Structure 1
Amino acid sequence: MHRDSIGSITKIALQLLLGLSLLVGQKSYAQRSTSASPYSQFGIGQMREDLLPQTRAMGGISTGVKYLNGLPTLNIANPASLSGLNRTILEAGLYGNYTQLTKGQTSDQTADFAFSHLAIAVPLSKYGGLAFGLLPYSDVGYSSSQAGSIDTASYRKSFSGEGGINKAFLGYGVSPFKGLSIGANVGFLFGNLYDIERTEFPFILQAFHTQSTLTRNIRGVTVDYGLQYTKNLGNKLNLTLGYSGSLNNTINARTERMITNFAPSAQEDFTSPPQDTTNIESLGTRKLNLPLKHNFGFTLSKGYNWMIGADFKYADWTNFQNTDNQARLGKGYGFAIGGQIKPDPTSVRYINQVDYRLGFRYNKTPLVYRNQQVNDMAVTFGFGFPLPETNFGRTFSQINVSAELGQQGGLTNNLIRERYININFGFTINDSWFMRRSLD
């Protein structure tokens, strides 16, 4: 007797993941930003990159990553890796952030938690592999204020930003001949970015507050591509060389400005609803040129035991069209190094079967602010906790946790120092779908 089968655990997980995707889709426009970086006001916000917790824990190396623990893995950042899939992979995760901002003698802290990714990868046998999913692309989250006066009337003006861009993607990878893999991702970007300017007269109860909200509605298609070459070096050693990049993808930004009035409130933390909308103005649609990217990397691994690797990244933002009064963006460079080790995959002790990951990254961002290039660096680490195998060993899962302890900017030249801790949680299911079993 023959039948197609999918493990019961996978069925439950798939239902949960699809439910999460619907929930995220419904809330994508209403979602507040998870960024608290003052530097997210430039460009289209703080870029999140197409990384899962497994690679974030290793400094963000991804270009040369095709296998983890000797098995094919889902690596969204380089679609060429999809050619090696031999099991269906389901990925879902959450993201947490703690940020401390310091300028001069003043400090402030924020924290947030949100959805991070949802993806499914399916092997197509000799025809390669396919992947699709949803993840954040960038987000905006900044705030500042200043005080002034008109004659004898004092006012407070605040500037803030929120919102984000999501990315739905479809990727495909194939191996045209032994050792070489090529692939491409097609992504659809969508979301709203809000820049809010609010003027209040705190000591005049009869004066209405005014708020100007600039909304940038982002839509567009992007194409990324990659290739990898894997070579067996003997003694169970494998070397993978990788490249990934993108051309100058162009997306649309439809801009609208709305001015509203608010009644004053005696409660400091309460914002009254708008009393009147005095103006709604469409500022038209314009093209945004996303950066030209080139990434090079490699990994050297020994089966289930260990892996090390490095990446070099380049992005050219010089053709990006900024909004008024924004600092121009230039060219960004960065590198990442990292790896993982599994002490003894054959051991009966659970601690020896855990994946231990460590990495470091350093980036010269494309932002030059107050004649100083803003740099970003972080130490990363994480763990991969295996779960018991089911379905006669055909289904195995893992919980992945990563942490990034980093700093962006500094205190010189009146800049803002941003110190952060990013935590990513991921749940991975590997399963053999559509297998035909024979029962005698």
Structure 2
Amino acid sequence: MSITARRLTRALSAEYTPPGGGAVPGDYTNLLLWLKADAITGVADGAAVASWPDLSGHNYHATNSTAIERPTFIVNGTNSLPVVRFNGSQTLGANAPTSGGEQTVIAVIKPSSLSGVKTIRGGAVQFRLEDDSIQVVHEGVGLIAKAFLPAASTEFQVLTMTLSTSSGTVGMWLGNVCGWYGAQSAGPFSADTTGIGVSTIWGEVFTGDIAEIACYDRVLDDTERTTLVTSLRQKWNAVYPADLPAPPNGVFTGQKVAIIGDSLTYQSGAGSVNVPASLVNAGWPSGGVWFYGVDGKTINTPDAGGYTTVQNIQQCLTNFGTPDVWIFTLGGNSVGAPDRADQIQAVLDAVGSEAKVLWTTMGTANAANDSSILSLNTLIKQICGDRPHTYVGDWFAYCFTHVQDNWWSDGVHMTTGGYAVRNAFVAQQSIYASLVE
């Protein structure tokens, strides 16, 4: 996009001034489509929206030629700003392309319920909800990614998806919290039009309110995405989830995180999926992540390289410095160890009483029926629960309520898709751990 076009989109958005001079979608290059309800003029409260103007400069206005299928304009939808309301039979369409190999879609929405499939942006790549699940769907392949964080029907929220065929990755964020980031092959595209509130392939429609949508034909970088999302959250009072982290240039500036784990963290054979990348996408600065993982690692006995976890901690302190959060994803190889409580305590003692710690519980495909894992998780919760500045990330509980067969390669170790979900979970939990007192 030219500088002139960027200035134009800024001027067109003059009716809303972001708090503190915050970002608007037109501030970033490669903007393909920008719809915001507060740019609609000449439409009365409760009247049908025949045309939703595109502010990208491309004039991909979203329209519907059939009057009874047009969504409704609601003057005071949220935060004293209007929204466009869809009832399940109302849709809009635009000529903006959706088949690019590099994409970002950011949408401010509030679904009317969390049941059924609700398309936010349709086309070659469908961005949608299925019940409370945020999903990215390919026109030919079908479902290619599903976030582990649930959407809400009681609050406005900012949802983001990114797709990169060059790097083979898909990302999804709820607010600024990463709900999925991992390797995924999307395949070729053919469909090339945009449906607003409808899938142009399967006809699945949205019910609820849409306040703003911005689509780009590139992947916004972390700073761009978090800055824009933060501004949109303020504008639309999109408060869900309430415990969002600040963008990387806020809470995480200059901060560090260290993670020590076993094969579920080392993830040999898992392709490009990895924990450090998920942590960076959750907001930790690139270069601010120290990582140690090895197959068979116990809580604190020598691993295949001859190192205990306490020795790993000393390596980190010497070579990386003191992290702001320590993450331990250990325990699966110590389920039967009689001294496992002493091992956990030795690790916690080594980081110091003031250190912030995240320790994840153990989850497997059949963990709910494994008494040794249940006993280990109870022990982790007891010991860590008694320590200040410590947060237990209950991966077992998440697996118990969300587990899918295609996560697991052997019941304990995971598929590439399963690791992507686990990594996103650990990354999200690291945010909570950074905020504990």
**Which protein is richer in strand relative to its size?**
1
> Greater Rg, structure 1 or structure 2?
1
**Which protein is richer in helix relative to its size?**
2
Structure number with the bigger relative contact order (C-alpha 8 A, sep ≥ 6) is 1
TM-score for the superposition, normalised by structure 2: 0.23
TM-score for the superposition, normalised by structure 1: 0.23
